[in-house]
Chains A and B, each alone.
Chain A
Amino acid sequence: MSWLKAFTQKKIFWPLVALAVLMCFNLFFTPNFFRVEIKDGHLYGNVIDIIKNAAPFMLLALGLTLVIATKGIDISVGSIVAISAGVCAMLLGGDLGGVPKHPIAFAMIVAVGVSVLAGMWNGMLVSRIGMQPIIATLILSVAGRGIAMVTTNAMIVWLYIKPFAIWGQGYLFGLPVSIFVVAGMFLITALATRRTALGLFIEAVGINPTAARFAGINAKNILFCVYAFSGLCAGMSGLIVCSTVMSADGNNAGLGYEMSAILAVVLGGTSLNGGKFYLMGSMVGALIVQTLTTTIYAFNVPPEIAKVVIAIVVLIVCLMQSINFRTMISSLFGRKVAA
């Protein structure tokens, strides 16, 4: 049983427990929650929906995990999602004929490119100017909405280009295409951070930026890169959002996504104090957030109460992760036994 004990010590343990508890709850209380059917040659059901809907958050959470590991934060990702969607939609063109103005690949690359630029802007403010991350990214969070509006001429741009829909609505081997995008990005991020020294440097900068600089690490470049990467992730997330709803809405695309993504990262075990980061944890965190939302809607809970329920569940998960809280609980328990 020693492997079991070792497993409970892992950071990923508590997020997985939380997800499992949520799933169990659904198993008993939500009818047909786990039913997966095959319709039109692909899988269909609540679980598949959760994965599909979580995809944009999972992408954001990947980028944010690295940012948060450096003791930073990026609250502009929601706006970058809107910019990316807007740029892509405008390049594809909204005419009813279904013929794109520019090649689809071109539009997507430009949209992601613009998002990376947005991320680099954040990175520059944080690493070169020395601005506090929350302020630096707040600027783009606000301005980004404006940029997205300007890009789409303040209109909702509807797309009628069938092939583009594959990213958000298509299926591959019976599973949503978007989840393959997430898996691909996850793999790339994991390899880039764990098979090179990047991950170690990011953690070092997050734990002690001065010591990192004194150890010869170019902390500024590391910071710059993580924000640029967060922009990249947000850009790809924007493409999936755009493709899912086949439209770009400068006002509402990606609205509030940054909070869900930050939540996912924190639920996954990466501390807002920076340092050690857990990519897989963030992915599980995103699934927790999405499962929760789906569960609540499955119960027809009104949206205004749904937020409260989410807040309570998040609080419980965070408390469970807190070592202080766990010792407090176990000492309470111990005292009862003694009495």
Chain B
Amino acid sequence: MAELAPIVEMKKIGKHFPGVRALSDVNFRLFPGEVHALMGQNGAGKSTLVKVLTGVYKQDAGEMLLEGKPIRPDSPLAAQKLGINTVYQEVNLCLNLSVAENVFIGKEPMKLGRIDWKTMNRRSVEILKRLNINVDVTRTLSTYSIAIQQMVAIARVLDSSSKVLILDEPTSSLDEGEVVQLFKVIRKLKADGMAILFITHFLDQTYEISDRITILKNGEFVGEYLAKDLPKLELVAKMLGKELSDFSTSPAAGASGAVKAEAKPAGAAVLQAKNLGRRGSIAPFDLELSSGEVLGLAGLLGSGRTETARLLFGIDTADQGETRIKGKKVSIGSPHTAMMNGIGFCSEDRKNEGIFAELSIRENMILALQARMGIFKYLSMKKQQELADKMIQAIGVKTPSASVEAKQLSGGNQQKVMLARWLLTDPSILILDEPTRGIDVGAKVEIMELVLNLSRKGLGVIFISSEFEEVLRCSSRVAVLKDKEKIAELRGESMTESGIMKTIAGGK
């Protein structure tokens, strides 16, 4: 392919937020007639970069060129006027309006001060034809599938002046057939010379549709590659910030190798999931967990790690398969039943799904135990105090007293409070989703040590982390997930970072 001039060029973009450097020296180029995938883990800076490009944020450093001319859009509207359009993950359309109205919302063709419906409907049909979509544009949008809605969202930003189209995780709520349909549209647009920026967590889709890949890691520019020159394994390694040679030999003995899971004979199976799955969330999987064992779930962002946990804990209900706890078949339809069956779960989203900011540490800790005992068997204040103090001691929460509000604690200490909440219920299975996210290094090691200690005492733990290194250090067995499917289980020799990456890159 002849090297065309890029239509968009972002040079040495930097962006600071109070206390965080979201982007530094990031370069990004977008060529006409190309699909360019932006890849990176959580916190890599993908969305910040897109927000700079679309005028939501202003960059602190660097410059942006559109067709060679410097631009500095100060609002999404300004960016749109320049021809840079975005279709967001959550389709923001008006479901109760007609297809045509959605296409032309905010720019309705007018005639004599009134909306010119005839023209609007005719032109909607034309625009959708361009995308090979044939629908009745006068019907309300809600009668069509999410895929069609997505296309309408694309159609809405398409007119003669649009040069750049940004698709932010457009496929996350589509099924396979719908993805095919969307990709056809993308290819059509590409052929028309549109420059497309594509963000997705699905590796296979990235390779299916994109020509060029830019990788970010922790707000820094890792590199820009042609998709055909970048093997999947290398992509995964670069997203994780590793060089392949780093870990070709040794099993993961991390920098702070104090914590390490030892291989030991597994106890009796406490949790068995057979063919458990939920449409649109996670493909059916088999999973077994023994007492005293730490099972790691490894995978990239959006691979289905959290979805697996949510299914096991009854937050989402499975639409197929069965779960057995200690050999007994159970139906887990809510977190409450999961808890009654001895399962505990610490969410990755501590702030919104875990901690009660205005309640005291004591109340935060005893809540699950109290829920387990029921409303009427209220723990006396003395007993609550005792339990909380014991836990604060046992797992080392740094606080002057148990009556401090939970919001005053640091992330690491809040995580410990969450752990304490579940430990008090004396669970046989504990699911930890990203227990080390957003906490400092020291606290990370402490949490991992705690997990290993608990497993030594017979607790079965499912440990989820986006840091493969952590998963490997804690787990005696690792289940690998990819594109919302469990694809392999690694144990023993094959349990290395490169092993996991190769599994992920290797396809199904």
A336 interface residue (CB < 8 Å to B): no
**Which chain B positions have C-beta within 8 A of A198?**
375
Q: Which residue of A lies closest to B340 (CB)?
A: A216
Q: Which residue of A lies closest to B372 (CB)?
A: A216
Chain-B contact segment, one of A147-155, A166-174, A201-209:
A201-209
Q: Contacting A203 at CB < 8 Å: which of B315, B352, B359, B368?
A: B359
CA A212 to CA B368, docked complex, whole Å: 9
Q: Contacting A204 at CB < 8 Å: which of B335, B345, B367, B372?
A: B367
Q: With A196-B376, A203-B359 known to touch, is A211 a contact of B370 (CB < 8 Å)?
A: no
CA A327 to CA B376, docked complex, whole Å: 41
A204–B359 CB distance below 8 A:
yes
A211–B354 CB distance below 8 A:
yes
B315–A276 CB distance below 8 A:
no
Q: Contacting A210 at CB < 8 Å: which of B352, B367, B368, B378?
A: B352
B261 interface residue (CB < 8 Å to A): no
B376–A201 CB distance below 8 A:
no
B202 interface residue (CB < 8 Å to A): no
Q: Contacting A214 at CB < 8 Å: which of B354, B358, B363, B379?
A: B354
**Which chain B positions have C-beta within 8 A of A305?**
none
A162 interface residue (CB < 8 Å to B): no
B363–A200 CB distance below 8 A:
yes
List residues of B (326-356) whose CB comes within 8 Å of A's CBs. Answer: 334-336, 338-340, 345, 347, 352-356
A195 interface residue (CB < 8 Å to B): yes
B375–A216 CB distance below 8 A:
no
List residues of B (371-426) whose CB comes within 8 Å of A's CBs. Answer: 371-379, 421, 425
A214–B378 CB distance below 8 A:
no
**Which chain B positions have C-beta within 8 A of A196?**
375-376, 378
CA A213 to CA B313, docked complex, whole Å: 11
0/1 per residue, A265-276, Cβ < 8 Å to B? 000000000011
Q: Which residue of B lies closest to A222 (CB)?
A: B375
Q: Contacting A201 at CB < 8 Å: which of B313, B345, B371?
A: B371
B487 interface residue (CB < 8 Å to A): no
In this complex, how many residues of chain A approach chain B with their Cβ under 8 Å: the count is 21
List residues of A (243-282) whose CB comes within 8 Å of B's CBs. Answer: 275-276
B371–A217 CB distance below 8 A:
yes
A208–B335 CB distance below 8 A:
no
B65 interface residue (CB < 8 Å to A): no
Q: For this complex, into which size category does the number of interface residues on chain B fall?
A: 20 to 34
Total number of residue pairs linking A and B with CB closer than 8 Å? 79
Q: Contacting A211 at CB < 8 Å: which of B339, B353, B376, B425?
A: B353
CA A214 to CA B314, docked complex, whole Å: 9
A215 interface residue (CB < 8 Å to B): yes
**Which chain A positions have C-beta within 8 A of B371?**
197, 201, 215-218
Q: With A198-B375, A201-B375 known to touch, is A214 a contact of B355 (CB < 8 Å)?
A: no
Q: Which residue of B lies closest to A275 (CB)?
A: B358
Q: Which residue of B lies closest to A205 (CB)?
A: B356
Q: With A196-B376, A214-B335, A218-B336 known to touch, is A276 a contact of B358 (CB < 8 Å)?
A: yes
B443 interface residue (CB < 8 Å to A): no
**Which chain A positions have C-beta within 8 A of B373?**
197
CA A214 to CA B316, docked complex, whole Å: 11
B375–A211 CB distance below 8 A:
no
A208–B356 CB distance below 8 A:
yes
CA A217 to CA B370, docked complex, whole Å: 9
B357 interface residue (CB < 8 Å to A): yes
**Distance between A267 CB and nearest chain B CB, rounded to angstroms:** 20
CA A82 to CA B347, docked complex, whole Å: 46
**Distance between B159 CB and nearest chain A CB, rounded to angstroms:** 37
A213–B335 CB distance below 8 A:
yes
CA A200 to CA B366, docked complex, whole Å: 10
Q: Which residue of A lies closest to B346 (CB)?
A: A214
B residues with a Cβ closer than 8 A to A are 313, 315, 334-336, 338-340, 345, 347, 352-359, 363, 367-368, 370-379, 421, 425
Q: Which 10 A-B residue pairings sit nearest by Cβ, starting from the closest?
A: A216-B339, A216-B371, A217-B371, A197-B378, A215-B368, A197-B370, A207-B356, A215-B367, A196-B378, A216-B336
| 13 additional A-B residue pairs with CB within 8 Å, beyond A207-B357, A214-B315, A216-B368 | A197-B378, A197-B379, A200-B370, A204-B367, A213-B315, A213-B335, A214-B345, A215-B367, A216-B336, A216-B338, A216-B339, A216-B371, A217-B367
Give 24 A-B contacts (CB < 8 Å), ordered by A residue.
A196-B378, A197-B374, A197-B376, A201-B371, A201-B375, A203-B358, A204-B363, A207-B357, A208-B356, A208-B357, A210-B352, A211-B356, A213-B315, A214-B315, A214-B354, A215-B371, A215-B421, A216-B338, A216-B339, A216-B368, A216-B372, A218-B336, A275-B358, A276-B358
